[in-house]
Amino acid sequence: MQKPLGHYTEVVAIVLAAKLRLELLPFAQVLDRVARGRRSAGVWNASSPAPEEDRLIRAAAVFRQVRLFVPVGMRCLIDSLALVKFLQKRKLHANIVFGVAIDPFSAHCWVQAGDLVLNDTLGNVASHIPIRVV
């Protein structure tokens, strides 16, 4: 795999595209594109063998490292959409999980493959009740 900063242009383009989609399209259409992208890319299914899980972990780590240098504010939804797209381009499958916390109320999303959380901490994820998986 290339060095993380070797992916800079790709990650910038994917993050900017995710931000733009959220600004221009209805939310349901954005989520539909995520699902369609997964089907058309023939991505790996979360029940595949462990070697694919290692690829998933490495690819997500590269994305997270490079994302720190992208000049767009970090937001869970933009970053989750972008990470899923980054993984799809590598034929890897992950879901965006939407959750809520009650007291105080907050909404949040993260990327997860099976039990593996890819762009958040377990503590933060555990404080939210999942309400939708895309």
| Structural domain spans, the chain | 4-133
Q: With a cut of 50, say whether residue 36 has pLDDT above it.
A: yes
Distance CA 33, CA 41 (A): 12
Average confidence score pLDDT of the chain: 89
Residue among 58, 77, 64 nearest 134 (CA): 77
* CB hemisphere CA count around 69 (13 angstroms): 12
Question: Per-residue pLDDT averaged across 12-17, rounded?
Answer: 97
Question: Per-residue pLDDT averaged across 93-105, rounded?
Answer: 94
User: Which pTM does this prediction carry?
Assistant: 0.88
What pLDDT score does 101 carry? 95
Question: Per-residue pLDDT averaged across 26-38, rounded?
Answer: 90
Distance CA 19, CA 106 (A): 21
Question: Per-residue pLDDT averaged across 48-55, rounded?
Answer: 74
What pLDDT score does 39 carry? 66
